[in-house]
Every structure is written in structure tokens, then in C-alpha cells.
Amino acid sequence: MESSPNLQSRKKLRVVHLADHTGRLQVIFPENNMLDISAVSRITKRRFESITNFNTSGDPLIKPNSVTTILESSILEGSSFSIRTKANSAYRDINTAELQDMFSGPLNRFEHISIETPLILKPVENHEDDEEQILQALGKFQSIRLKQRLEETLEIPPLPASSHRIIRLSSDKAAGTDELSQVIALDPALAAQVVSWASSPYYGAPGSIKSVEDAIIRVLGFDMVMNLALGLSMRNAFQTPEEGPRHYEDFWLDSVSNAVLMEALVKAMPKHSRPKIGHAYLAGLLHNFGYLAISMVLPPHFSILSRYQEANSHLPSEIIEMQTLRFTKEQLGSWLLRYWSLPDSIWTAIRYSKKPHYYGEHALLAKLLYVSAQLRHDEDIEPSILLEIGLTLEKAESCLAHIYKKSPEIHKMVDLINKMNS
């Protein structure tokens, strides 16, 4: 194998190490494909899981003929590829003949084990069509008579009473600090959490915060407390799943980190174009709520989804969700929040957060969620989207750096949620 000055014309091969209780398996497939875990199981009659925890760069190549290896059969139709042979090493060129020679031993075989991502079904464009797509998917998974409406099909948990009260209050334009404090006080645990949140080192408020009124007036503001309390009150609607992907072992850390980054991005925007900071915070906090919904609606399939996500961490989550579930967590999550009568801006932004060129209602908040996700996952951000929300890349990255700097304080905020859930 020789180094190539330009790998753009060569397809990269992805190496993933899988294992079960009896041993290890190495699979090799084109980087732009999705590993089909079900196909691997059918071929081997074994149930494998990824060894590495969410390794987006893929695993290094194990010495050929030292471990069982399955290669995607479509590789044989190509002429040249590039592959990473050692951890942290550059990709090296290899042609098909060399590859066949390397993996010609009895431990190796070529099989159809991956799916070309362009062939995977796409989510419908408009949220008005989400219910039909989700219903069709559920009809394939469940041996029940398919009902006409999604809420009749799903076993949806009731929205906590405190959430109902806050939602009703949010529609009262005359409501003020006294009314909000009274509503939150009806749930003593929620009131304590709001006060603790405002008292956290992250906000650095001088003196002690002794009441919800203090949290509103001195630290967070009416809009922020309204939406923060709503988000926190919803935490008991679903329990965090135990059998999820390993990179989601702390769901609320991801949610809170996204919420505070959304808050920072809004504050960095030009004042005349900022969305409500409380709505931005709540959208960030609930951006992955559909993940919890999927774990409740389809537990067995959620387990399969988790295995696919671990093995295909190089791909956007919606591609994996569409292949395994036929709908995305953004579709189900936004539908659920809409069903629960949350503000339109919240569920709409979450629904279109993976579509940077969405220009419908509440597009600005959706684009902020897109930017936040790209920043946190170290992915490129389209310059035109930054221009539309009034931020430079430098300002956006500065917001992220601020969040990283405040990481210990954010962990303490997450501890508050986990203690309430325990």
C-alpha cells in the first residue's frame, strides 16, 4: 500500500470491531455506507455489538487472518480505496486485488453487510405528514390493528400536572412574577429545583437565592424561569432508558449542555433579531426528547437502534433512525410536544433542527438548534446559516468555549436533575 497525495477520488473503507460472548469480529465496508447489523447476525447466527464507544473515526485494521473478518461484497466492484491500518495513522491506498489477497484466508469472507445511504428512506418534508409516516412504521412493527390516530396507537404517559399549569399560564399575556411563582410553588420539588438552578455557580448570582421570586427577579428572568420550569417539570414523563447507546448514558448532561449553549448563542446575536431566550433554552433542553419517547414506544426496536448507532457513529442519527424505525426522533418528539400543547416555536424548531434550509415559521430557532448541534459535535456549519442568524463563526465558537469553561458548573446543574429523578 502507498500513500496517496489526494484521497478525494478514492472511497474510504471503514473498519468496525464487533464482539459477543464468544469472540470478536472485524467488519469492513465503504465509509459512506451504513453497516447492517441484522445482515451480520443472519450471516454469523450471532448477536454482535460494537466494541468501541461511539467511535466516529472507525477502528484500526486488525492484522489480516488473525481475526474473523467480513468485508462488504460491493468492494469487489471497485478498483481502489483507502484504509486506516493503525490507530491515529493516515489513510493508505489499496486496490481491490491487494485487498482480496490480504483477506484470502479461511477467516475472511465477502458478504453484503452494508446499505448505501442514498437508498435509505427519507423523513417526510412537512410535519403535517409526520403522523402518517410514524403510523405506517408502527404498523410494520406491531401486530395490532392500526388505528387512525397516533395518540390512539401509542401509550402516551400523562403530562405532569405542574407542566399543564405552566402551559396554561404561558398563554396568559397578563401573567407576571406572582402568578408564575404561585404555579411553581404548587410543586415544592420543582420550586426547590428552580431555586437551586438560579443559585448554581454557572449564573454566579451575588448573595443567596431564597425563593422562586428571587430566581425570577435577580437571576433568570420571567421568560427563562417559565420555560425552565416547564422543561424540568417534564422530566418525569419518561425515564432515561437503561439500554440506550453508551454515548447517551447521561441524557440530561447532553440536554443541559445544549440548553446553556442555546442561551449563550441567543445572547451573542444582534438584539433586534433575538428569539425569546426562554424558548431557546427550552428547545435546547428538549431537543432530544423524541429519544426518550422511542425508548418507551418501541423498547425492543430501541435496543436495536442503539446497537446500530454504536456501529454507525460516522453517520447522522436520522439516517440510522430512518433505516431501523422509518421515522426520526425529531418527528416523534415534536409530535409529542405538539400533542402536549407546548408552544409552537418549541416543537417546530425541534422538528426542523436537522434542516438548516427550512424557512417556515420559527425557522430562526430551528437554525439555532442546528448551529448548536454542529458546534457540539465539531461539524462544519454552513456560513449562510450563521449569516442568517447574525453570528460569525468566531462568536459561535466563543460561546462553545464559554460552555466548556463552565463544564464543572453544568455538571452540578445536571446533578440536580438526576437527584430529582432518583
Segments forming the whole domain that contains residue 368? 127-154+238-421
CA 101 distance to own-chain centroid:
40
Domain boundary among 119, 142, 170: 119
Domain boundary among 94, 119, 144: 119
Whether residue 21 sits in one domain with residue 134: no
Q: Report the domain count for the chain.
A: 2
Q: What is the pLDDT of residues 123-154, one digit of tens each?
A: 999 999 999 999 888 887 765 555 567 877 77
Is residue 344 domain-resident?
Answer: yes
Q: What is the pLDDT of residues 292-311, one digit of tens each?
A: 888 887 888 888 898 999 89
Residues in the chain: 422
- Helices 251-268 and 393-405 cross at an angle (nearest 10°) of 130
Whether residue 369 sits in one domain with residue 282: yes
The answer for residues whose C-beta is within 8 angstroms of residue 416's C-beta and 6 or more apart is 193, 196, 197, 200
How many whole angstroms separate alpha carbon 185 and alpha carbon 222?
15
Q: How far apart are the first and last CA of the chain?
A: 54
Using CA atoms, how far residue 52 sits from 38, 57, 60, 89, in Å, is 19, 11, 11, 17
Is residue 312 domain-resident?
Answer: yes
Instruction: Quote the mean pLDDT of the chain.
Output: 89
- Range of lowest pLDDT (51-55, 99-103, 414-418): 51-55
Whether residue 40 sits in one domain with residue 100: yes
Q: Is there a contact between 25 and 16 (Cβ–Cβ < 8 Å)?
A: no
Whether residue 380 sits in one domain with residue 262: yes
The candidate with the shortest Cα–Cα distance to 308, out of 58, 49, 46, is 49
Residue 357 has a CB neighbour count (10 Å cut-off) of 12
The candidate with the shortest Cα–Cα distance to 327, out of 336, 176, 233, 219, is 336
DSSP letter for each residue of 41-104: HHHHSS--EESSSS-TT-PPPPPTTSS-EEEEGGGGG-SEEEEE-STTPPEEEEEHHHHHHHT-
Whether residue 145 sits in one domain with residue 73: no
Using CA atoms, how far residue 175 sits from 106, 172, 188, in Å, is 74, 5, 20
Q: What is the pLDDT of residues 244-274, one digit of tens each?
A: 666 566 788 899 999 999 999 999 999 999 9
Whether residue 147 sits in one domain with residue 75: no
Whether residue 135 sits in one domain with residue 61: no
Whether residue 34 sits in one domain with residue 149: no
Check whether 80 has a pLDDT greater than 50. yes
Is residue 319 domain-resident?
Answer: yes
Is residue 3 domain-resident?
Answer: no
Is residue 219 domain-resident?
Answer: no
Is residue 210 domain-resident?
Answer: no
Query: Which CATH number fits the domain that encloses residue 101?
Result: 3.90.960.10
**Amino acid present at 42:** R
Whether residue 260 sits in one domain with residue 361: yes
Q: Is there a contact between 91 and 84 (Cβ–Cβ < 8 Å)?
A: yes
pTM of the model: 0.90
Is residue 321 domain-resident?
Answer: yes
Whether residue 356 sits in one domain with residue 279: yes
The candidate with the shortest Cα–Cα distance to 194, out of 207, 211, 217, 177, is 211
Check whether 7 has a pLDDT greater than 50. no
Query: Which CATH number fits the domain that encloses residue 406?
Result: 1.10.3210.10
Whether residue 379 sits in one domain with residue 316: yes
Is residue 229 domain-resident?
Answer: no
Domain boundary among 119, 146, 180: 119
The candidate with the shortest Cα–Cα distance to 35, out of 379, 304, 374, is 304
Whether residue 259 sits in one domain with residue 112: no
Q: What is the pLDDT of residues 316-361, one digit of tens each?
A: 999 999 999 999 999 999 999 999 999 999 999 999 999 999 999 9
Q: Is there a contact between 123 and 318 (Cβ–Cβ < 8 Å)?
A: yes
